[in-house]
Amino acid sequence: MSQVAEAAEPPQAPTANGLIGEAPPSPAGPIEPSEAHGLPEPPTIQLPALLQTLRFNQRQIEFVFRARRELGEVFQMRGTIPGGPVITSHPDHVRSLFTAKPEQAPSLTGESPLRPIVGPNSVLTAIGPRHMRQRKLLLPPFHGEAIEQYTQMIADAAEREIDGWPLDRPFALAPRMQAITLDVIMAGIFGIEGKPERGTPEHWLRVATKRLVAASTWPLAQVSELINLNREEAVGLTRVGLELLDRPTYAVIEQRRRAEDLEERRDILSLLLQARTEEGEEMSDKELRDELLTLVLAGHETTANSLAWTWERLVRTPAAHEALRDAVRGAGDPAEQIEATIVEGMRSRPVIPIIGRRVKVPWRLGPYAVPADTAVTMSILLVHHREDLYPEPFEFRPERWLGRKPGTYEWIPFGGGIRRCLGAALAMAEQRVVLETMARRLDLEADDPAPEHAVHRNVTMIPSRGARVVIRSRRDRAE
C-alpha cells in the first residue's frame, strides 16, 4: 500500500459506477457580509500552530488526509500563513476560485517562498494588472502550436540521455529526467540545443542552475528558505546562490540584446526582447532576469518529478505498465494510452499538491463562510483522491481516462483560471515524448517493491528516493 493510501480512510465502496464519477453540488463563491454572518466558519484543526506548520511542511499527505477524515472537505489550519489557510477539496469551490475576478481572489504565489528568488514582479509572483501584462507577453511562445517545434528536440534529448543509463544497476530516475527537462527549457528559453559550449555564459548558467537546484535539498538551504519567507529580496545563503546565477543570466541577456539575428530568432528570450506592452514598453534587464529565472525554476524540476512519479507508479502497477508498453511497441496509435498514463500519473501524484488564493471579500464554501482576507487553498491531492470523483482513488488506473478528458475543476495539477500553469503545454509535450521513448526502448523494474514516500521540497512533492529503477534490457534507438 502506498503512503497516500496508508494516510487515508479505510477503502469504501466506489460511489459511482465506472472509473470516474461526480461530486454532489456545493454552493461556493463571493457573498455579502450579511450572508456570511449566518454561516459558520470551517472547523479548525486542534493542534498548536507550530506543530501544524511542522506537520504540514514535512508530512502534508498524512496531515491533510487525516484532517479531511476528521473534519470534512473544508477545514482550517493555523500557523503557516496569516489569515488561514482554509483548505478545501470540493470541485465547486475550486471553480469559484478559478473563475473569480482577479481582484476578488488574487493568487497566493505573491506570498510564496519563491518570491525573494524570482522577485515580486515575475509572472508567478505578481498580482493584478502587472500579472496580466507579464502573462500576455509570455503566452505566445508557450502556446500548443509554438511548443510543437520542440518535439524533435525533446526526443533527441531523451534518446541521448537513455543511451547513457546503466543496465542491471539501480539508479534514480528523477535526476536523469531533470537533465532532460533542463536541456529542453534551456533550449526553449535561450535557443541553445544540447550542451552549450564550455566557458560561454549559457554554459555557466546551466551549471549554476543545476548546482542551485541540487543544493536546495541541503538542510542549510531549507533554513535559508525559512529566513527568506515573506521577504522582497533574498538574503543569506540564498542571496549568495542567486548571485552565481544572476551573473551568467545578465551576461546572456546582454549578449542577446546585441545579436544581429534577433528578429529571426524564435527562442523565448529573443521573443521577450522584442515584445512590447500595449503601451509600447519593452522589458528591462531586471524584468527579463526575473522571468527567465521563473521559467527555468518553475519549468524543469516540476516536469522532471512528474515523469519520475509516473514511472514510480508504472513499475509498481504491472497492468498499466504492460498496457503502455504494448501500445508504444504495437502497430496502432499509442497516443491515447500515453495521454491516459500521464493524466493518471498527475492525478495520483500531483507534483504541486496545493495552491491558493487570498479572498478579498467574504466567501462561501459549501455550508461554511470565511471572512475577507482569508487564504483559501485547494488541496490538489485531496481533490484528486475523492472517492466520488475517482472510485478507488488510490489505484493507479490509466484506463480511467481512455475516451475521457479530465474535468477542468476535478483534475487540477496545473491549477486553473488566469493563473493556470503557463508551461502546461510544454510540460505535457515533454512528458509524452519522454514517456513514449522510455517505454519503447526500456524494460524497467522497481528496485524495491515498496512504494516511494513523498518528500516536500519548496512547493513541490517529490519521490523520496528519486524513483529508483533497474533497466533489464534496452533497445537501440532505431528498433
Residues that bind ligand HEM (CB under 6 A): 107, 109, 123-124, 135, 185, 294-295, 298-299, 302-303, 306, 351-352, 355, 413-416, 419-423, 426-427
Q: Please compute Rg for the chain using Cα positions.
A: 22
Could you tell me the smallest distance in angstroms from the CB atom of residue 9 to ligand HEM? 25
Nearer to ligand HEM, 358 or 386 (CB): 358
Nearer to ligand HEM, 28 or 45 (CB): 28
Q: How far is the CB of 260 from ligand HEM (least distance, A)?
A: 27
* CB 90, min distance to ligand HEM, A: 16
How far apart are CB 387 and ligand HEM at their closest, in Å?
Answer: 23
Q: For residue 117, give the C-alpha cell.
A: 528568488
Closer of 109 and 249 to ligand HEM (Cβ)? 109
Which one, 45 or 156, has the nearer CB to ligand HEM? 156
C-alpha cell at 95: 471553480
**Nearest distance in Å: CB 134, ligand HEM:** 8
Shortest distance, CB of residue 204 to ligand HEM, whole angstroms?
A: 21
Sheet holding 84-88, edge to edge: 74-81, 84-88, 374-379, 354-359
Give the C-alpha separation, 361 to 100, whole Å: 11
- Is 37 or 420 the residue whose CB approaches ligand HEM more closely? 420
Give the residue from 64, 49, 109 showing the smallest Cα distance to 298.
109
Which residues lie closer than 8 Å to 207 by C-beta, 6 or more apart?
A: none
**Residue 26 or 112: which CB sits closer to ligand HEM?**
112
Task: Record the cell numbers describing residue 366, joined without a space.
Answer: 459549501
- Minimal distance, residue 132 CB to ligand HEM, in Å: 9
Our CB check for ligand HEM shows the closer of 273 and 352 to be 352
